[in-house]
Structure 1
């Protein structure tokens, strides 16, 4: 009985440690977020903007985003906060979705803009010759775990 209890407690500690490591590692290795000046400068010339809200159907206490995304002809700029996590990507999508199921339905029609490595704002270069008129919303998605983080509609 003592050995079983010892096995259970050690297995529980190992599982908790791995889970905590998965959550904390992106925070520990996160590069510095762009400063307010860089974000403000990059937002000039914005063609579209949208708000990311925390209360979307697919967001929860571990997976959320809150802030403002602006799109110019050459850059996507996010000013706000994202919950920390690994392997986040920004996608431009043809229609607004607010959960995993909705995004998975249109993922093949979406454009992966780039990897999001900072959680306190980011600046990503858009691919050359992109036509923003082909998209109406943006989604932050966790590739590693297939989790919806947040989204915003910038065009009807």
Structure 2
């Protein structure tokens, strides 16, 4: 999972840098997100590999603040959810894990649950970001195909 996350994010950065059609603010933001994911996973996974077998927890727990999605029409809501469905799934994974940890930490302390949450935060979500933020995007698909044709 670590390699998929790092290589996927590196591929996004390389595609954005090499394709002049992707030199826009949105793709600049996407390349920064990929760079942040690489940095995040590269600093947390080595520590996690040491801490999980020793059952040490290195997460702090924060109370989750929820926000309300305000879209006036039902057709607008449908369009928003169909467009952003994959993005919302990552947000749900992130906050769902946080809420689960927050609620269960006050009731009981389970090292296995904590380890699963750590893997979700530090490996699974950064691994999913390249797929969600790029492979559903036509411009990124074309840039990746052009990058692949240049490499061959």
Give the number of the structure whose residues are more often strand, by fraction: 1
Q: Tell me the TM-score range normalised by the shorter chain.
A: under 0.3
Give the number of the structure whose residues are more often helix, by fraction: 2
TM-score, length basis structure 1 = 0.22
